[in-house]
Amino acid sequence: MSFARALGLFILTALAEIIGCYLPYLWLRQGRSVWWLVPAVASLALFAWLLTLHPTGAARTYAAYGGVYIAVALAWLWLVEGERPTPWDVVGALVAIAGMAIIILAPRR
């Protein structure tokens, strides 16, 4: 799998997980309808399925995915919640993405 394809798949996976967790947050913390849980469950099921599309082992996939999740979560913070990430947030996300790239691009036997 190419790096670009893996990165794109990780971004979709992160969005599915964040949406699946954000909708119950809206229900529990902001008094939204319990019906927000229906698309939340669907989004979390999509998240689990997307993780299976990666060709490497589950543990390596989860480790690399974590780096992308951090960056996508910070983008969500800015675009959806309206809070601009700090420079330290950006540096942390870049370090996490570098870690993901090392995991994904490492030579395999």
- Which pLDDT score is estimated for 1? 66
- Asked if the model's pLDDT at residue 36 lies above 80, the reply is yes
Find the domain containing 44 and state its range.
3-105
Residue 54: pLDDT band with limits 50, 70, 90: confident
Assign 58 a pLDDT band (cuts: 50, 70, 90).
Answer: confident
Q: Does position 6 have pLDDT exceeding 90, yes or no?
A: no
What value does the mean pLDDT take over residues 96-101? 89
Residue with more model confidence, 63 or 21:
21
**Do the Cβ atoms of 15 and 7 come closer than 8 Å?**
no
Tell me: pLDDT of 88 over 70.
Answer: yes
Overall domain count for the chain: 1
